[in-house]
């Protein structure tokens, strides 16, 4: 009896997404070092579905906040540079970005540093980025 050898299938899309998320984590290290809470996760409503084995477009969330309750207010200037780096990295790698501050969408159409023309003193309790494949 002869046994056939099969090569293991490796999805380059899945591997590249893992690298993409790892890069997002690297970009946000500075915020974490400064005491900010940063959570990067696959958006469960649009991620890969194990139930029906259909791969849907990936969508990731990046949530930024400060520890504490009612004392966790931070200024845009504290996260601005990192958010700009994240945004430029995403668009350079085929992803789009939408932004929310305290649950309200804002910064629509921002893709590059010169697009972020809001005041550095805007305060917020939470900041969220929704990152989707173009």
- Edge-first strand listing for the sheet containing 104-106: 37-42, 59-65, 126-133, 95-101, 104-106
Query: Ramachandran region of residue 91, left (φ > 0), alpha (ψ -120 to 50) or beta?
Result: alpha
Of the chain, the percentage scoring pLDDT greater than 70 comes to 76
Q: Please, what is the average pLDDT of the chain?
A: 84
Residues 6+ apart with CB under 8 A from 111: 87, 88, 91, 97
Rg (CA), the chain: 18
Strand partners, 13: none
d(CA 131, CA 99): 9
What's the pLDDT tens digit per position in 68-102? Answer: 866 789 999 999 999 999 999 999 999 999 999 99
d(CA 105, CA 3): 58
């Amino acid at each position: 009896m002869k046994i056939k050898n099969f090569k293991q299938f490796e999805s380059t899309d899945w591997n590249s997404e893992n690298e993409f998320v790892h890069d997002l984590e690297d970009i946000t290290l500075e915020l974490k070092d400064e005491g900010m809470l940063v959570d990067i996760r696959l958006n469960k409503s649009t991620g890969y579905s194990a139930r029906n084995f259909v791969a849907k477009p990936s969508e990731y969330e990046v949530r930024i906040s400060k520890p504490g309750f009612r004392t966790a207010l931070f200024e845009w200037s504290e996260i601005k540079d990192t958010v700009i780096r994240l945004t430029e990295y995403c668009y350079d790698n085929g992803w789009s970005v939408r932004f929310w501050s305290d649950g309200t969408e804002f910064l629509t159409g921002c893709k590059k540093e010169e697009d972020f023309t809001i005041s550095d003193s805007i305060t917020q309790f939470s900041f969220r980025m929704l990152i989707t494949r173009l």
